[in-house]
Chain A
């Protein structure tokens, strides 16, 4: 158990819909990361938040958005869903970004999204 929790575990929805995935980081971790894993694209970095602020952006579609709340939990919002958005979405957390020190990431169990 990494200490990172994600809800829900599974989500089935229809094209065009909007969903919200939730992540609670490990106690004390300030950074949250979102990744998408699909069969054809592998594991892709989407976005990182640190202490409520966006810190880095990866291959995140404009239909997707995220935020980190004052209690440090994070939500990933996916809208206008398409069949190709079906994937596993992982959240990870780490202590804090600090130049010159190493911060391993702890991954949650993932949310499996199926778009029909």
Chain B
């Protein structure tokens, strides 16, 4: 499975935008880029996914580099509730299982 590289941790202030980077230089043409997050004491939850184009949903935006070797998850206005571990994952659309890495622990400062 193709690997992703994320910073171990990041900090951001409440009510400010957050940009979470992810590098995936060995991405293949059939790999989706998924983001999940895990709030404290909860199971992971889906955030967003994309293949080639930038994507927006009610939770976040996903900006994908033109060469697809990196992507950025954007939380437009962080709240304290967004403090979590964010996982950037590559997954072949023909294969449903998720291989989690270590993720980025996001701290939100009030």
Q: How far is the CB of A39 from chain B (nearest CB, A)?
A: 12
Chain B interfacial residues counted at CB < 8 A: 21
CB of A44 within 8 A of CB of B43, answer no
Q: How many Å lie between the Cα of A102 and that of B35 in the bound state?
A: 13
CB of A42 within 8 A of CB of B43, answer no
CB of A107 within 8 A of CB of B100, answer no
Which residues of B88-110 are within 8 A (CB) of A?
93-102
Question: Interface digits, A83-116 against B, CB 8 Å rule (1 contact, 0 not)?
Answer: 0000000101010010111111111111000000
Q: How many Å lie between the Cα of A50 and that of B36 in the bound state?
A: 22
Residues of B within 8 A of A43 (CB): 38, 44, 87, 100
CB of A108 within 8 A of CB of B93, answer no
Interface of B is mostly: loop
CB of A58 within 8 A of CB of B43, answer no
Q: How far is the CB of B49 from chain A (nearest CB, A)?
A: 6
A/B interface sample: 26 pairs, CB < 8 A: A2-B43, A2-B45, A4-B43, A31-B96, A33-B96, A33-B98, A35-B100, A42-B100, A42-B101, A43-B44, A43-B100, A45-B99, A55-B96, A56-B96, A56-B97, A92-B43, A92-B44, A94-B96, A99-B93, A99-B94, A101-B93, A102-B32, A105-B98, A107-B43, A107-B45, A109-B42
Instruction: Show the binding face of A for B, using Cβ within 8 Å.
Output: 2, 4, 31, 33, 35, 42-45, 48, 55-56, 58, 90, 92, 94, 97, 99-110
Instruction: Show the binding face of B for A, using Cβ within 8 Å.
Output: 32, 34, 36, 38, 42-46, 49, 87, 93-102
